Amino acid sequence: MILDKETAKKTAQLLLQIKAIKLEPQDYFTWASGWKSPIYCDNRIVLSYPPIRNYIRENLAKQVETLYGKPDVIAGVATGAIGIGMLVAEYLNLPFVYVRPEAKKHGRQNQIEGHLTPGQQVVVIEDLISTGKSSLNAINALKKADVNVRGMLAIFSYGFDAAKENLNDISLNTLSDYDHLIEQAYQTSYLNKEEFETLKTWKQNPATWGK
């Protein structure tokens, strides 16, 4: 869900500006899943640009407060959201933990790094939502730690149906999403009309696009 349309448009513009998101409707990317895609997103690049990093941090933090008040802890999903999650926690002066994809095989065998107390109110920060599987995995790990996951905020979402199904029981908001991104790219002449229509078509059935 998008909380603020102007923030969604500006976030999309900034991500395109620093090439955290690349659009290649003619010369598509191949994802690890094998999908052919006209878009590639790596929001970790945001951390290398202080003004944009600060914009993302502040808007995520403000939406945390708007939606949930002040939780007890901010949790980042490893590895992509560790940096931005920690910045949000710092902005809100809150404790921070991060959640690994799985427990370590050695040492204390932690899946959650940092201190949590049962019953604490936690908001999860993600950098990118695709199918939502890694996000759901993190949420399940937090629930096993007996904390209350209030919701999740992310920088960007593709808006796939799979993510809606996987995160059906979770309150999810994102600063921007695929629909706002391609609309902004078209309005600012980053895309022409034909490219815009190609990107709309991909969203309808990404698993078979380009085959």
DSSP one-letter string for 118-163: TT-EEEEEEEEESSSHHHHHHHHHHHHTT-EEEEEEEEEE---HHH
Q: What is the pLDDT of residue 146?
A: 97
Inter-axis angle of helices 178-187 and 193-204, to 10 degrees? 170
Longest CA–CA span in the chain (Å) reads: 55
CA neighbor of 176 nearest in space, from 192, 158, 203, 197: 158
Place of tokens 């949790």: 75
pLDDT in tens, the chain (211 residues): 999 999 999 999 999 999 999 999 888 888 877 888 999 999 999 999 999 999 999 999 999 999 999 999 999 999 999 999 999 999 999 999 999 988 766 666 789 999 999 999 999 999 999 989 999 999 999 999 999 999 999 999 999 988 999 998 999 999 999 999 999 999 999 999 999 999 999 988 888 876 6
Q: Where are the alpha helices (DSSP H) in 24-126?
A: 50-68, 82-92
